């Protein structure tokens, strides 16, 4: 059981939380919904002892665990029986699963009893019906497996501090911060039942998300935050996803549903029988052929790890592939040249942005050496500033102005910086990989609308996306990658289930 | 007598020559595993040299000399930690500063000692061979082969072997090792686990400094019984290279240090050969550096090293 009572928190005069109250009963999964910036992260940071509330109280488990303004530190939170799985994993890649758990779930400096820890890890995994090798290196695990390690670690941290023999304690509280943001649909399907099993074992789960259908699937009750205040709290049953979305963003959100149009444009990307060399690691791209024309969005659906990475590298010219032709753009100029591809990469923080540089500099990152941003070898900072002011306004990038670092922006606004830089020059071909990953509903819709609008203005768009609902809402054609082979689903002349079967290779 | 055989003499010299490298390398390896690259190890060793020499020459107490050498190096190491960890300055720049300070300070102290007529250790002072002067062991010194290779060593050589074993065990089997791995690979993970990254990094830097100080003391009050300005002669940088080429593994570090020690021992023998005068002695002194670096560069596959090595934490503030 965890109860927040009138939690208030202000950051330098700005109210982040205005008297938020929330009660999650023992053994239930309680959803916390809200847009980026609605205050759900701040609330959870207070619960976990990373921030202190200005006013209010938090009660964990029972009344003797009532603390005036929340735990004083993560260690204090663990003592009270609260564990948290952060959205960004904090697992040392070179460590083993056991070492990761020892680091996160125990204190002191002493000798590590590996056998005992392995037994604890296995017991916890078995309880959740997971397979985990305690000796596996973190770097060898996929994202879904790493998340399981994080969950086990959080559970052990609660159990070990309380000194209970069982890794679970009935009053334990587990916070899952956007646990599905990094998962494939299959991994989500495996995670959600495990969350239910946790609740059945007596753990109280706070499930932070902005994916409505997941909240609907896994939560007993939900609290919806908007601008630091609770707008709704109650059972999930009887609350439609449409209603949840309305409560979250204040207005009805419609995912863009473009008018389908016949393909009329010239080919912008032609791939003819692309195969990786015979000794390439599985899944090996085999006989992949397709064309993306101007004025269309071709979406590649597929479970992560079925050849998407290799395909994208070939399209971008990072890997040499003669089978890939981009009319008008030489292979080695796809990223660097004037006629280059507009690229929205998967990992925006590492592959698209320099986090410590300003918004302004990130916006000219690819053109700073060319007119009008540089003349005769001199950089024209005034032109940079004017350009940034223009794009910040046109793409509604909300933050502390063009001189602020990109790191200071929310995820959605960071993505807007990427999109502004890549789309303002009206590239003929746009490659977007999971462009809404980690974004809330409104920001996702905005990103997808930008892609649709670019398409309507003549761009050819290749969209590789893990979220099937979003993908179907914008795609003109849907191709499915499975095991390195490409199938044309026939969309829109087929149903969603058919695509799902193709993605799983059972069609 | 078998103990006078060239091979036995060379191996015994190898162990002695490798000791300061192993000692300083052990500390530096731990610091780098913890994400701190201290290129000031040379300066810390030099500080150890002069501090040990000065204290031993003045007080006649070589134990005190060793302790003060470690303490002086830790003071300088604390200065480095203050710059590179707390103030998040560039670790390379802070390390360079350390080297420059050490050359200046040691030179100044040396000249002050000279002006007071203190230029050599009293005959009774300085460590002699044997297990920390315990006479019981010296009776074993004449045993064939194992006498010179095991008993007739400086106490610090033997302690170094113990330190290496202990360090290996701590890194591998205790939570200390797990935390050090975390602060070197992903400091955020250590912080998320409630550990203070800064406090731990201070810890590994001070440990490395103490090791380097002891290594310096070994050079001045044990191996040579003298101080010569800049007597470390780049051994601190050799240590850096050995840790790196050794892929941050203790076993490879030991192999590299022993190889350097062997080359050093061989060049000493070469210098005593008749006719060696035809070549300048610097040529011989150069050999161990060349051999160790060429061999290690050739043998070792490159490894990325700790992911957060040399990076201040937190990355942005």
Which residue in B190, B193, B305, B316 has the most chain A C-beta atoms within 10 A of its own C-beta, making it the best mutation to test that interface?
Answer: B193
Give me the residue from A100, A107, A111 closest to B173, CB to CB.
Answer: A111
A151-160, A164-173, B243-252 — most confident range: B243-252
- The residue-averaged pLDDT of A216-242 equals 89
Closest CA of chain A from B169, distance in Å: 10
Q: What is the pLDDT of residues B199-219, one digit of tens each?
A: 999 999 999 999 999 999 999
Residues 6+ apart with CB under 8 A from B62: B52, B56, B125, B126, B127, B221
When pLDDT is cut at 50, 70 and 90, the band that residue B171 belongs to is very high
Q: Please give the distance of CA B108 from its chain centroid, rounded to a whole number.
A: 23
Which residue in A103, A349, A404, A406 has the most chain B C-beta atoms within 10 A of its own C-beta, making it the best mutation to test that interface?
Answer: A103
When pLDDT is cut at 50, 70 and 90, the band that residue A28 belongs to is very high
Question: Which residue of chain B comes nearest to A90, CA vs CA?
Answer: B189
**Are B185 and A93 an interchain contact pair (Cβ–Cβ within 8 Å)?**
yes
Using a CB–CB cut-off of 8 Å, the residues of A that contact B are 73-75, 78, 86, 90-95, 99-100, 102-104, 106-112, 355-356, 405, 407
> A264: how many CB neighbours lie within 10 A of its CB?
9
**Which residues of B fall within a CB distance of 8 Å from A150?**
none
Q: Which domain holds residue B204?
A: 2-299
- % of chain A with per-residue pLDDT over 70: 90
**Are B174 and A407 an interchain contact pair (Cβ–Cβ within 8 Å)?**
no
Question: Which residue of chain B comes nearest to A105, CA vs CA?
Answer: B193
**Are B186 and A93 an interchain contact pair (Cβ–Cβ within 8 Å)?**
yes
pLDDT above 60 (res A470): yes
Q: What pLDDT is stored for residue A337 in this prediction?
A: 67
pLDDT above 60 (res A142): yes
Q: Is A480 exposed, middle or buried (0-12, 13-18, 19+ CB in 10 A)?
A: buried
When pLDDT is cut at 50, 70 and 90, the band that residue A162 belongs to is very low
Q: Is residue B31 part of a domain?
A: yes
Q: What pLDDT is stored for residue A164 in this prediction?
A: 45
- The residue-averaged pLDDT of A240-246 equals 78
Contact B35, B309 (CB under 8 A): yes
Rounded Cα gap, residues A40 and A21, in angstroms = 12
Exposure string over A309-343, b if 16+ CB within 10 A, otherwise e:
bbbbebbbbebebeebbbeebeeeebeeeeebbbb
**Which residues of A fall within a CB distance of 8 Å from B191?**
90
Alpha-carbon distances, residue A52 vs A67, A74, A76, A301, B34 (angstroms):
11, 11, 12, 43, 30
Closest CA relative to residue B165, chosen from B22, B45, B66 = B22
Residue B259: φ, ψ to 5°? -60, -45
**Are B193 and A111 an interchain contact pair (Cβ–Cβ within 8 Å)?**
no
- The residue-averaged pLDDT of A74-86 equals 85
Number of structural domains (chain B) is: 1
**Are B186 and A355 an interchain contact pair (Cβ–Cβ within 8 Å)?**
no
Q: Is residue B309 part of a domain?
A: no
Residue with the larger pLDDT of the pair A448 and A501 = A448
Exposure string over A431-465, b if 16+ CB within 10 A, otherwise e:
bbbbbbbbbbbbbbbbbbebbbebbeeebbbbbbb
Residue A119: φ, ψ to 5°? -65, -45
Contact A52, A46 (CB under 8 A): yes
Contact A77, A162 (CB under 8 A): no
Q: What is the pLDDT of residues A164-191, one digit of tens each?
A: 445 455 458 999 988 887 777 778 888 9
pLDDT above 70 (res A64): no
pLDDT above 80 (res A36): no
Residues 6+ apart with CB under 8 A from A185: A303, A466, A468, A503
**A332-341, A387-396, A454-463: least confident range:** A332-341
Q: Is residue B191 part of a domain?
A: yes
Q: What is the pLDDT of residues A47-58, one digit of tens each?
A: 988 888 888 888
Q: Is residue B305 part of a domain?
A: no
Closest CA of chain B from A46, distance in Å: 14
Structure tokens that stand for B14 in this block: 């190898």
Closest CA of chain A from B252, distance in Å: 19
Q: Is residue B247 part of a domain?
A: yes
Which residue in B190, B194, B204 has the most chain A C-beta atoms within 10 A of its own C-beta, making it the best mutation to test that interface?
Answer: B194
- % of chain A with per-residue pLDDT over 90: 33
Q: Is residue B311 part of a domain?
A: no
Q: What pLDDT is stored for residue B7 in this prediction?
A: 86
Structure tokens that stand for B278 in this block: 């035809």
Structure tokens that stand for A343 in this block: 């690229």
**Are B176 and A92 an interchain contact pair (Cβ–Cβ within 8 Å)?**
no
**Are B178 and A94 an interchain contact pair (Cβ–Cβ within 8 Å)?**
no
**Are A106 and B175 an interchain contact pair (Cβ–Cβ within 8 Å)?**
yes
Structure tokens that stand for A410 in this block: 């929310």
Q: What is the pLDDT of residues A3-21, one digit of tens each?
A: 999 999 887 666 789 999 9
**A216-225, A495-504, B32-41: least confident range:** A495-504
Question: Which residue of chain B comes nearest to A115, CA vs CA?
Answer: B173
When pLDDT is cut at 50, 70 and 90, the band that residue B1 belongs to is low
Closest CA relative to residue A393, chosen from A425, A370, A416 = A416
Residue B118: φ, ψ to 5°? -95, 100
Question: Which residue of chain B comes nearest to A76, CA vs CA?
Answer: B194
Mean pLDDT of chain A: 84
CATH number of the domain within which B51 lies: 1.10.3470
Give me the residue from A103, A107, A356 closest to B182, CB to CB.
Answer: A103
When pLDDT is cut at 50, 70 and 90, the band that residue A37 belongs to is low
Structure tokens that stand for B82 in this block: 């203050």
> B146: how many CB neighbours lie within 10 A of its CB?
13
**Are B189 and A405 an interchain contact pair (Cβ–Cβ within 8 Å)?**
no
Exposure string over A385-422, b if 16+ CB within 10 A, otherwise e:
eebbeebbeebebebeebeebbeebbbbbbbbbbbbbb
When pLDDT is cut at 50, 70 and 90, the band that residue A506 belongs to is low
Closest CA relative to residue A172, chosen from A98, A86, A85, A89 = A85
When pLDDT is cut at 50, 70 and 90, the band that residue B316 belongs to is low
**Which residues of B fall within a CB distance of 8 Å from A94?**
181, 185, 307
Task: Report cis status (omega within 30 of 0) of the bond before A492.
Answer: yes
Q: Is residue B275 part of a domain?
A: yes
Q: Is residue B315 part of a domain?
A: no
B176 touches chain A (CB under 8 A): yes
Q: What is the pLDDT of residues B98-116, one digit of tens each?
A: 999 999 999 999 999 999 9
Q: What is the pLDDT of residues A285-326, one digit of tens each?
A: 889 999 999 999 999 988 777 888 889 988 888 888 888 888
pLDDT above 50 (res B308): yes
Closest CA of chain A from B210, distance in Å: 21
Q: What pLDDT is stored for residue A13 in this prediction?
A: 66
Question: Which residue of chain A comes nearest to B186, CA vs CA?
Answer: A92
Closest CA of chain A from B260, distance in Å: 30
**A76-85, A485-494, B122-131, B266-275: least confident range:** B122-131
């Amino acid at each position: 059981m965890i109860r927040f009572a009138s939690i208030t928190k202000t950051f330098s005069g700005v109210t982040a939380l205005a008297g938020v109250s929330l009660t999650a009963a023992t053994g239930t999964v309680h959803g916390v919904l809200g847009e980026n910036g609605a205050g759900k992260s701040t609330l959870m940071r207070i619960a976990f002892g990373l921030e202190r509330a200005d006013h209010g109280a938090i009660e964990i488990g029972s009344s003797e665990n009532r603390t005036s303004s929340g735990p004083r530190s993560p260690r204090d939170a663990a003592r009270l029986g609260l564990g948290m799985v952060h959205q960004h994993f904090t697992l040392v890649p070179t460590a083993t699963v056991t070492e990761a758990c020892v680091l996160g779930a125990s204190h002191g400096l002493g000798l590590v009893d590996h056998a005992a820890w392995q037994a604890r890890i296995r017991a916890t995994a078995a309880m959740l019906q997971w397979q985990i090798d305690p000796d596996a290196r973190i770097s060898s695990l996929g994202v879904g497996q790493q998340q399981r390690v994080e969950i086990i670690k959080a559970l052990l941290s609660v159990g070990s501090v309380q000194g209970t023999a069982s890794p679970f304690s009935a009053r334990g509280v587990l916070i899952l911060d956007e646990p599905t943001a990094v998962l494939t649909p299959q991994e989500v399907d495996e995670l959600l039942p495990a969350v239910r099993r946790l609740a059945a074992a007596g753990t109280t789960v706070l499930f932070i998300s902005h994916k409505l259908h997941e909240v609907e699937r896994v939560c007993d009750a939900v609290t919806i935050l908007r601008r630091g205040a609770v707008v709704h709290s109650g059972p999930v049953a009887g609350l439609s996803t449409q209603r949840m979305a309305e409560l979250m963003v204040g207005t009805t959100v419609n995912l863009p549903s473009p008018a389908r149009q016949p393909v009329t444009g010239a080919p912008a990307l032609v791939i003819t029988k692309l195969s990786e060399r015979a000794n390439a690691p599985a899944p090996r791209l085999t006989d992949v052929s397709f064309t993306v024309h101007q004025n269309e969005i071709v979406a590649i659906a597929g479970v992560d790890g079925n050849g998407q990475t290799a395909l994208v590298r070939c399209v971008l010219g990072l890997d040499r592939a003669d089978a890939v032709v981009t009319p008008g753009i030489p292979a080695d100029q796809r990223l660097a040249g004037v006629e280059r591809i507009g690229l929205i990469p998967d990992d925006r923080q590492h592959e698209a942005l320099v986090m410590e540089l300003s918004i302004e500099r990130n916006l000219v990152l690819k053109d700073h050496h060319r007119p009008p941003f540089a003349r005769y070898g001199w950089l024209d900072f005034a032109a940079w500033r004017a350009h940034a002011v223009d794009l910040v306004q046109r793409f509604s990038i909300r933050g502390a102005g063009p001189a602020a670092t990109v790191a200071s922006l929310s995820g959605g606004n960071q993505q807007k910086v990427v999109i502004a830089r890549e789309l303002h020059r009206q590239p003929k071909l746009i490659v977007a990989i999971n462009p809404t990953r980690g974004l809330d509903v409104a920001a996702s819709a905005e990103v997808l609308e930008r892609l649709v609008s670019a398409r309507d203005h003549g761009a050819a768009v290749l969209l590789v996306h893990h979220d099937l609902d979003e993908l179907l809402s914008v795609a003109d054609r849907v191709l499915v990658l499975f095991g390195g082979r490409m199938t044309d689903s026939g969309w829109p002349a087929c149903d969603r289930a058919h695509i799902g079967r193709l993605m799983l290779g059972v069609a | 007598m078998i103990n006078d055989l060239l091979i036995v003499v060379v191996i015994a010299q190898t162990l002695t020559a490798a000791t300061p490298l192993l000692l300083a390398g052990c500390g530096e390896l731990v610091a780098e595993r913890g994400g701190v690259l201290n290129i000031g190890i040379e300066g810390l060793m030099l500080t150890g040299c002069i501090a040990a020499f000065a204290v031993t020459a003045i007080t006649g107490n070589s134990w005190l000399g060793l302790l003060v050498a470690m303490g002086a190096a830790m003071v300088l190491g604390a200065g480095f930690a203050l710059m590179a960890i707390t103030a998040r300055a560039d670790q390379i720049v802070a390390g360079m500063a350390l080297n420059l300070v050490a050359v200046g300070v040691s030179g100044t102290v040396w000249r002050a000692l000279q002006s007071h007529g203190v230029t050599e250790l009293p005959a009774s002072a300085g460590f002699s061979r044997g297990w920390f002067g315990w006479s019981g062991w010296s009776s074993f010194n004449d045993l064939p082969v194992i006498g010179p290779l095991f008993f007739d060593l400086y106490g610090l050589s033997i302690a170094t072997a113990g330190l290496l074993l202990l360090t290996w065990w701590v890194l591998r089997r205790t939570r200390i090792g797990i935390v050090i791995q975390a602060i070197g690979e992903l400091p955020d993970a250590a912080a998320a686990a409630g550990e203070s990254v800064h406090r731990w990094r201070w810890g590994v830097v001070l440990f490395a400094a103490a090791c380097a100080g002891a290594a310096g003391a070994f050079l001045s009050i044990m191996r040579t019984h003298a101080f010569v300005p800049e007597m470390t002669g780049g051994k601190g940088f050799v240590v850096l290279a050995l840790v790196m080429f050794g892929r941050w593994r203790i076993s490879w570090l030991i192999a590299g240090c022993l190889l350097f020690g062997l080359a050093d021992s061989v060049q000493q023998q070469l210098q005593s050969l008749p006719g060696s005068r035809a070549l300048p002695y610097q040529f011989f002194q150069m050999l161990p550096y060349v051999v160790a670096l060429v061999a290690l560069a050739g043998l070792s596959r490159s490894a990325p090293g700790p992911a957060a090595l040399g990076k201040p934490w937190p990355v942005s503030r």
